[in-house]
Structure 1
Amino acid sequence: MAERAEPLVRVRGEATLEVEPEIARLTVVVRAQDKNRRRTLERLTERQRSCRRLIDRYEEAVEDVGTSAVVITPELREGRAERVRAYHGAVRLRVTVRDFTVLGELVSRLADEEPVTVEGPSWELRPGSDAYRRAAEQAVQAALARARTYAGALGAEITGLVEIADTGLSHDTIHPPPVPFAFTAAVPGAAPESAPPPLDLEPHPIQVHASVEATFTLAPPQAL
C-alpha cells in the first residue's frame, strides 16, 4: 500500500520597512553657446571644470561624480541653406551625496554657477543596503508565522520546508518634481555677490518592500 503523502501548506509572507535614505543623487547640467563650434567647446570645458572644482570642495560629503552625457547641437538658420546660427553644448553630471548636512549648501552653490541647471535631489538607498536584508528576513518570518497559524487551526504542526521563493524586493525611490534651478552668467563688471543661502532639503523616508512564497509540509491533522 502506497504511503500517504504529507499535506502541504503554501503561504505568502510580506514585509514593509520605512527607512531613512542613504544617498541623494543630483543631476547637474552645464551649458555653453557660441556661433563658433570651437569656442562653444572651450566654454563648455571651462564651465565643466569650474563646476567640478566646486564639487571637489565637498570631497568628504560626495560619494561619486560621473559624466552621463555630452551633447553638442548645431542650431540651423531658417531657409534652404544649411547655415549654422549657433552651437549649443551641454554636459550632464551625476553627483551622489552621502552627507545630507551640506546638501542644501552644495545645491545652492552649484545653481549659482554660470549657466547651470540642477535637478534633484533623488533620495535613494545603496544597492547593497542592509534594509533589503532586514525586509527579506521579516518577510520570511511572516510566511512562517502564517503557515503556523494555518497548521494550528487544523490541529497540525509544520514538519519541514519544501520550497521558498523571493517574489519581490524593491524600494520606493523618492524623485522630486522636475523643478530645476537655472541661473545665467554674471554680468561682466558687476560686483561679486556673497555665497547664496543654503536650501533646506529634508530627506524623505523610503519604503522597502519584500515578499516571499513558501511551501511547508505538515504532520497529518489528528482531527481530520
Structure 2
Amino acid sequence: MTPDTGPADRHTPATTPAVPYGTPDTPRIAVRGEAHLEVAPELARITITVTARGKDRRQTLTDLTQRNARALDLVKAHGDAVEHLETSALTITPELGRHGRGERTRTHHGLVHITAVLGDFSALGELVTALADLDLTRVDGPWWSLRPTSPAHRAARRQAVREAVQRAREYAEALDTTVTALVELADTGTEDTHPRVPQSTRALSRSAYGAPTEDEPAPIDLEPQRQHVHAQVTARFTMAPPRL
C-alpha cells in the first residue's frame, strides 16, 4: 500500500520547462567559434617489414627469426627515443609448384611486420637508414601525428571558445546591447585535419642479392610534417533586450 504523501505534496506545482528559444525580454543569440592551429608533430610512426624466402621451411623460419631479431635490436638500441614497439603480424606461407602431379611446395615465404613509434626525431633518420640497410627489410613511413593529450588540442578548444564569445559580443554591439549570460556551449569536435601521408621512405629497402656497401650509409634527412588542428564550438547566449 502506497503511503499518503499529504496535501502539501499532492498540490506541489509542476516545474515550468525551460524555454528552448529566446523571448522579447530575454533574446538569445547563437554563434559558432572556430580555431585552426598549425603545430609541429610530436610522434613519428614507421612500419618495418622483414622477409625471408627459401625452399626449406625450417631454414626460412630461421632466417626470418634472425632478421627480425636484428631489426628489433636496431630499434631498441635507440632507447627512450622509441616510445612504442610492437610486432603486428607474422606469416609463413608455402608456395606450391604450378606444374607436375600432386602438390609440391616450391618455396616458403616468411613475413614479419613491426611498428615503431618515436618521440625523438633526432634518432629517426639514423634508424630508418640502418633498418633499410638490412637484407630483405622494407621501411614505410614516417606517419607524423600528435599525442591524444597534446596541449595543441586544448589550445585549439580555448581559442574556439574565445572566438565564440567575441562573436556574440560583436553581434550584441551591432544591436546596441550587451551579452548577459551563457546558456549553452557545445563542442563539435577537436581533430587533427592533416592527412598522415608518409614520407617517401618506402623505397628504402635492400635486396639480399644486392651489392653490399663497405661503409654504413649516411642517415637520411627527414623533415617533420606540420600538423593542422581544428576545433569548433557552438555557443548560445542571452542578451539584454535591444531597442529596435
Fold equivalence (TM over 0.5): yes
Indicate the SS of the match to 1:73: strand
Indicate the SS of the match to 1:193: coil
Identity of aligned residues (%): 47
Structure 1 partner of 2:205? 182
The amino acid of 2:43's aligned partner reads I
Query: Are residues 173 and 23 of structure 1, via their aligned partners in 2, closer, same or farther at CA, if it must alter by over 3 Å?
Result: farther
After superposition, the C-alpha distances for 1:24-66 in whole angstroms (9 at most, x for unaligned) are 1111111111223222222111111111111121113211111
Runs of 4+ in 1 over 3 A off after TM superposition: 79-82, 177-180
For the pair 1:157 / 2:217, whether they are aligned, the reply is no
For the pair 1:130 / 2:151, whether they are aligned, the reply is yes
User: 1: CA distance between counterparts of 2:117 and 2:79?
Assistant: 11
Structure 2 partner of 1:11? 31
Larger Rg: 2
Please state how far the C-alpha of 1:124 moved relative to its aligned partner: 0.9
Indicate the SS of the match to 1:47: helix
Indicate the SS of the match to 1:128: coil
Return the match for 1:201 from 203, 209, 222.
222
TM-score (norm 1): 0.90
Alignment of 1:20-99 (within 5 A): 20-79=40-99, 81-99=102-120
Higher mean displacement: 72-81 or 124-133: 72-81
Higher mean displacement: 110-119 or 84-93: 84-93
Higher mean displacement: 11-20 or 35-44: 35-44
Query: Are residues 177 and 75 of structure 1, via their aligned partners in 2, closer, same or farther at CA, if it must alter by over 3 Å?
Result: farther
**Unaligned 5+ residue runs, structure 1?**
none
Query: Are residues 34 and 119 of structure 1, via their aligned partners in 2, closer, same or farther at CA, if it must alter by over 3 Å?
Result: same
Higher mean displacement: 59-68 or 78-87: 78-87
Please state how far the C-alpha of 1:74 moved relative to its aligned partner: 2.0
**Unaligned 5+ residue runs, structure 2?**
1-22
CA contact (8 A) 2:25 2:241 kept: no
